[in-house]
Chain A
Amino acid sequence: MNDLSHDQRVAGLKGLGSSRKRVEDARFTQGKGNYVDDIKMPDMLFGDFVRSQYAHARIRSVDTSKAVALPGVIAVLQAADLAPLGLHWMPTLAGDKQMVLADGKVLFQGQEIAFVIAEDRYICADAIELIEVEYEELPVVVDPFKALQPGAPVLREDLAGQTKGAHGERIHHNHIFRWEVGDKEGTEAVVAGADVVAEEMVYYHRTHPCPLETCGCVASMDKINGKLTLWGTFQAPHVVRTVASLLSGIPESSIRVVSPDIGGGFGNKVGVYPGYVCAIVASIVTGRPVKWIEDRMDNLMATAFARDYWMQGKIAATAEGKITGLWCHVTADHGAFDACADPTKFPAGFFSICTGSYDIPVAYVGVDGVYTNKAPGGVAYRCSFRVTEAAYFIERMIEVLAIKLGMDSAELRRINFIRKEQFPYQSALGWEYDSGDYHTAWDKALNAVGYDALRAEQAQRVADFKAGKTRSLMGIGLSFFTEIVGAGPVKNCDILGMGMFDSCEIRIHPTGSALARLGTISQGQGHATTFAQILATETGIPADQITIEEGDTDTAPYGLGTYGSRSTPVAGAATAMAGRKIRAKAQMIAAYLLEVHDNDLEWDVDRFVVKGVPERFKTMKEIAYAAYNQAIPGLEPGLEAVSYYDPPNMTYPFGAYICVMDIDADTGVADIRSFYALDDCGTRINPMIIEGQVHGGATEAFAIAMGQEIAYDEMGNCMTGTLMDFFLPTAWETPHYTTDFTETPSPHHPIGAKGVGESPNVGGVPAFSNAVHDAFRPFGLTQSHMPHDHWRIWRIANQLGLHG
């Protein structure tokens, strides 16, 4: 390899910037992945739930006698069985508590009532059918505004008399918290005196991450050595270990949590679910391994939903369109328990990023969390915490303001963008944006799609429509988003008290290959590919010779897991820092071997070279061997490093998305003609994986905007419990995407990377939705709520009188 040129050696590493193929895909594309449900153990039992048919009811009785009598049934657990252990309720990540099994009443359809443990899943299913639950129905509240009315039914009787919650005062028996940020008086004064104020209610409907693999676990308590092993669909395995220890009293050293291959998470697999608790208890009681696996209906009906935010907004501006203030009040429907997965001090996540990409001098946000008879959750579905809600809100408010001003919304965005020279930028709601160049990205995007020509075509289409020549309308959906990811600095971000650092531990083997372990866990992101690339560039070891391991708490260093696009910003930083520790020691070893001072060496791709004497060098491979076979004065043998990285700030990826859509005014059918996505995620590690992430996130955004929802009827029945009614796009519905980029590194991240997995969802939803709105803007539409499925689009046309 010494004959290779500098460029050939760089290429051979497959380091930063290489579109290296994903090392995971060999097994995934051949059906050789190892998921939780692939785990089979001798004597393993199966557990499953009796679930509530009603959204709100008192449980009069549960008759399990026939089920228990069925051969193969081991036991049926109810709340009373868990109560002596204190496990009939469990704490949520949001500071609330949640029933593990129904304690006297049920609060949503699909709630867990009893846990059946049987020899296999077939017997389990038969036993569930034999259990008779007697309900006394109670009045149901599915509307958060009705839930806050004075005479509304009391949902959480367990909180009776409690006027303080985890986040301050509760003002009503169905109220969870009020969270306020910014300058309320100042903002309201600006709004009162503004030239122009646009006011709108923007609803981001309830939807669901719906990963292809549902949630599940296998719990195995070894009564001989006292060790509990828990395999499961966990996006944060170390946090699960800590919670399991705190709840069970088993020392954390005697608990091993393993996340095997995970078939998509999207926030759905961050929380702790009753199934995990019941499987652990069942294994402890029986001394046998117990598996619990949800089916699709369980997952859609009971396991964490996302969004359900009613966002009332006022945006103030000068007559010329310069924004002067932003006011927002959110009514947040959290369902029966506050089980949001947010950093502890942020009950509405990072929603206060809702000033978006704009230089807004003053702003205020207030959020009221509300209980309803719907499933708990509120997770970050392919977005950082409540960031997609925030981006949707501001990108709709920009459009609403543009209508009020009679302006083109592309120009309105341009005159309000934070300027390049303002970074690091302090937002009115307290965030410090690390870096950005919004104008460059916006101009590149508008040029790429031929924006002016599109507007001209649209104007002709409107004229043709009005003249009766066509029944097709055309929408141009603009979106410019700023994400806030990489939670986060330990000083203000924690999950259940655990600071949101992350970690990497590296071992360089004597022959020059390496093993690195991280506190994160891939669910499809391709960590085994990209983290090896970071290390390849840092250490000069080819990525193909670096094995990445995650997800086993017995071997991986403590980390907070993978969600909120935090893996690259936090664990990726830890990886680079650990790599630099390796390189620092390698430099000392090389200096010894070359008999020069450390400072006389310089790094060159994969080796240390004596300055000015290019023929004198030691490669990383030679150095690694020396670390194990030579006694080097003043140095310990071996070549290992560990880094725990506490990020100084979040990272702020951004991007410009433009969707062009043709809409059939008569049927409500929307055809996505084109979708352009420009992402700036800072330094790009693997462009191919970035493109894949953008395709995936944009497809989920398409689904959410155009049809995907969790809907309830007035009785609290979930109307969308199967994939017949819950929209999961196939290849046939999915649009074609054009991806593009600019590259503005993060100034505080070791390699300048910002994270990308969630940007396309955050930016994509407003792009699709704005396209629908834009098509009808010439006919007087200001705001219409998602999802924009056929009948809702048809309703817009109908209400605007377009059906003659």
Chain B
Amino acid sequence: MIPNTFEYHRPKTIPDALAVLTQHGDEARVIAGGHSLIPVMKQRLTDIAHLVDLQDIADLRGISVGDTIRIGAMTTQHALITHAGLSAAVPLLAEAALQIADPQVRYLGTIGGNVANGDPGNDMPGLMMCLDAAFVLSGPTGTRTIAARDFYFGAYSTERAEDEILVAIEMPRPSGGYAYEKQKRKIGDYATAAAAVQMTAVAGRVATASVAMTNLSDVPVWSAAAGAALVGTDCGPVAVNAAVAAMLEDINPGADNRGPVEFKRHVAGVVLGRAIARAFSRL
């Protein structure tokens, strides 16, 4: 449980950090909160010669709330929960962040690390898809913005190039009802299954609905069909069953210590049903 030798870099600006990445190529990795990276380094499952710590870069912090929400990549889960303006504007974020591990983890764990790592067990990627967020990436040739829904290819495989840094997350200010429903074995565990739902309604009928699922495939799953199944309905049993059926078409869970595939598919349906009900009740 001791990592291999590595060089530790602690740049103060984004250009300085990018310079280290450019210089060392695939031998370099950025570290945010470190909750995913440090364990795999300790187990020597990955070999990193240059570790680039982002914590001193002021430009990666900060939350601004307007018609568009912008969250610096190094914002901790704790900051997401305690930022009054953000909690009012995007209550789904705080509801989900409170279900991530424990306070000690949330003091260090960042939203940027959570979404950029590409771990299908992380909660924030599905949430970002649900909220139709976009990721701002800085690289040697400039800055580009990628939709969360286009970001994930496979486990730990994302649109981000190795010489790019995720600097911020942007999303339109959501409205309506919301819910993040997560089943886990214990504090600190990844989800057995989790569902994020954000919806709006007009005259008691769903106008828009967005549904995303966590840890039920090798990528977070945004189920457009599940959302579509709810539109125009009052989220009664028929609509919920249709949404669940649509969602089940889009997920592909694997068996692990949390249980076999059939169990996970069943629970995925249950948590989605509950998330829909709670979101609808908050409209």
Contact = CB atoms under 8 A, between A and B. Distances in A.
Given A669-B183, A730-B102, A733-B186, A791 B260 contact: yes
A707 interface: yes
Interface in A765-804: 789-791, 794-795, 798, 803
Contacts of A122: 2
Given A295-B1, A789-B185, A666 B258 contact: no
A121 interface: yes
Contact of A790 (B44, B183, B188): B183
Interface in B1-15: 1-2, 4-5
A790 B258 contact: yes
A729 B186 contact: yes
Contact of B266 (A125, A707, A719, A794): A794
B189 to A, nearest CB: 7
Nearest to B260: A791
A794 B259 contact: yes
A789 B267 CA distance: 14
Interface stretch (A5-13, A241-249, A505-513, A720-728): A720-728
A725 B189 CA distance: 8
B1 A296 contact: yes
B186 A803 contact: no
B195 to A, nearest CB: 12
Contacts of B187: 730, 732-733
A421 interface: no
A499 to B, nearest CB: 41
Contacts of A730: 102, 186-188
A268 to B, nearest CB: 18
A725 B39 CA distance: 14
B253 to A, nearest CB: 12
B240 to A, nearest CB: 13
**Secondary structure type dominating chain B contacts:** loop
Given A126-B4, A297-B1, A725-B257, A794 B189 contact: no
Q: How large is the interface on A (under 10, 10 to 19, 20 to 34, 35 or more residues)?
A: 20 to 34
A129 B267 contact: no
A114 to B, nearest CB: 17
A711 interface: yes
A500 to B, nearest CB: 37
B266 A795 contact: no
B186 A791 contact: no
B183 A667 contact: yes
Given A667-B267, A730-B187, A794-B263, A719 B44 contact: no
Contacts of A666: 266-267, 270
B109 to A, nearest CB: 15
Contacts of A720: 257
Interface string A114-140: 000000011001100100000000000
**Secondary structure type dominating chain A contacts:** loop
Contacts of A669: 183
Contacts of A725: 257
Nearest to A121: B2
Given A667-B183, A667-B270, A719 B257 contact: yes
A295 B267 CA distance: 35
Interface string A285-296: 000000000011
Interface in A705-724: 707, 711, 719-720, 724
B192 interface: yes
A626 to B, nearest CB: 57
Contacts of B4: 126, 129
A789 B186 CA distance: 10
A707 B44 CA distance: 28
Contacts of B266: 666, 794, 798, 803
B281 to A, nearest CB: 18
A791 B258 contact: yes
A727 B188 CA distance: 11
A126 B263 CA distance: 41
A707 B185 contact: yes
Nearest to B43: A297
A72 to B, nearest CB: 12
A720 B258 CA distance: 11
Contacts of B44: 129
Interface in B227-276: 257-260, 262-263, 266-267, 270-271
Interface in A667-714: 667-669, 707, 711
Nearest to A123: B2
A790 B185 contact: yes
Contacts of B183: 667, 669, 790
Contacts of A794: 259, 263, 266-267
Contacts of B192: 790-791
Nearest to B190: A724
A297 B4 CA distance: 18
Contacts of A125: 1-2
A791 B263 contact: yes
Contacts of B2: 121-122, 125
A790 B259 contact: yes
A295 B102 CA distance: 23
Contacts of A795: 263
B46 to A, nearest CB: 13
Contacts of A707: 185-186
Interface string A272-296: 0000000000000000000000011
A798 B262 CA distance: 10
A597 B2 CA distance: 71
10 contacts: A126-B4, A295-B1, A296-B1, A707-B185, A707-B186, A719-B257, A730-B187, A789-B259, A794-B259, A798-B262
Interface of B: 1-2, 4-5, 44, 102, 183, 185-189, 192, 257-260, 262-263, 266-267, 270-271
Top 8 A-B pairs, shortest CB-CB distance: A791-B259, A125-B2, A295-B1, A791-B263, A732-B187, A725-B257, A666-B270, A730-B187
Given A667-B183, A732-B186, A795-B263, 13 more contacts: A126-B5, A129-B4, A666-B267, A725-B257, A730-B187, A732-B187, A789-B185, A790-B183, A790-B185, A790-B258, A790-B263, A794-B267, A798-B266
